[in-house]
Amino acid sequence: MATRRRETKRQPHPRVAVDAVLFTIEAGTLKTLLVKIKQGPFLGQWAFPGGLVQVGEPLDTAARRELYEKTGVQDLYLEQLYTFGEVHRDPAAHTVAVAYFALVPPGAHALTRGDKYAEIAWFPVSELPELAYDHNAMAITAHQRLQAKLSYTNIVYSLLPPEFTLGELQTIYEVILDKQFDRRNFRRKMLALGLLKPLRKMRRGAHRPAALFAFTRRSPMNVEVL
């Protein structure tokens, strides 16, 4: 029995990694963050940021750490997406990847590639290159999850600044869902849900002034939006 226990301890185990699909909206375009690999079997290819989970580190903490190291952002929406465990997905070693998707509002994020990557950049979701590992499948899964979540949750708040116009809110839904909404019907629906509060402030610019709104709650909740 003692010999059997020693043999069990010697058995190799798969590595566990986290990968994060980070979305934002910039200039009316849904974008995601990619890093360019500078060594190993996927040299020169783009991938989602990620890394190995440290001993004693919770998965969510590992994902937040990876995103903070790349963007400097700590306050973001994060959700576990799916586990990718195909044995040969990583030619270097058997690695199980727990994927997450995350959302941040547009802004001047302090992108940092670190020593592990050659480049870091935002890419339009509709124009992704061929990605390393199984990250193209990961991108599709994350995009589909985001589209689904917009219909029954309020997580759209994670893609907007504290103050916004109804036009900006509608643009996000149209960009992500690839669907056009009637302006009046959209406004009526959103105001009826009780998710928004008027700020009695206006945004002035080249066009006519637009009323500003804020979310009544900036934390996840289920609500029948669409």
User: 24 pLDDT exceeds 80?
Assistant: yes
| pLDDT value of residue 73 | 85
Q: Which amino acid is at 129?
A: P
In a domain, 222, yes or no: no
Q: What does the alpha-carbon distance between residue 68 and residue 62 come to, in Å, rounded to a whole number? A: 10
Whether the predicted pLDDT of 206 surpasses 70: no
Top-confidence residue, 124 or 110: 124
Q: Which pair of tokens denotes residue 126?
A: 């509709």
Per the structure, how many domains does the chain have? 2
Is the predicted pLDDT of residue 1 greater than 60, yes or no? Answer: no
| The pLDDT value given to residue 78 | 97
Statement to judge: residues 91 and 111 lie in one domain: yes
Q: What is the mean pLDDT of residues 9-15?
A: 78
pLDDT at 7: 53
DSSP designation for 65: H
Q: What does residue 201 show for φ and ψ, rounded to 5 degrees?
A: -135, 155
Residues 174 and 140 in one domain: no
The whole-angstrom separation of Cα 112 and Cα 121 is 9
Q: Are residues 103 and 129 in the same domain?
A: yes
How much is the mean pLDDT over the chain? 92
Degrees (nearest 5) of the Cα angle 110, 111, 114? 125
203 against 151, higher pLDDT: 151
Query: Rounded to whole angstroms, how far apart are CA atoms 22 and 61?
Result: 15
For the segment 96-108, the average pLDDT, to the nearest whole number, is: 92
Q: Is the pLDDT of residue 3 over 60?
A: no
> Which uninterrupted H or E stretch holds 26?
strand 15-26
Q: Assess whether 136 and 58 both reside in one domain.
A: yes
Given 115, 130, 152, the domain boundary residue is 152
- pLDDT of 113 strictly over 90: no
Of 112, 128, 152, the residue at which a domain comes to its end is 152
Average pLDDT over residues 23-27: 94
Confirm if 17 and 54 have CB atoms less than 8 A apart. Answer: no
pLDDT at 209: 86
- The whole-number average pLDDT for the span 178-193 is 96
If phi over 0 gives left and psi between -120 and 50 gives alpha, with beta otherwise, what is residue 76?
Answer: beta
State the CATH number of the domain containing residue 52.
3.90.79.10
- Can you give the residue range of the structural domain that contains 167? 155-215
In 37-159, which residue ranges form alpha helices assigned H by DSSP?
Answer: 59-71, 135-152
Question: CATH number for the domain including 175?
Answer: 1.10.10.10
pLDDT of residue 5: 57
Residue 145 lies in a domain: yes
Q: How far is CA 140 from the centre of its chain?
A: 12
Task: Scan for tokens 């940092």, then name that residue.
Answer: 112
Pair (172, 143) in one structural domain: no
Q: What is the pLDDT of residues 35-88, one digit of tens each?
A: 999 998 999 999 999 999 999 999 999 999 999 988 888 889 999 999 999 999
Confidence of residue 182 (pLDDT cuts 50, 70, 90): very high
Same domain, residue pair 60 and 49:
yes
Query: Quick check: is 118 in a domain?
Result: yes
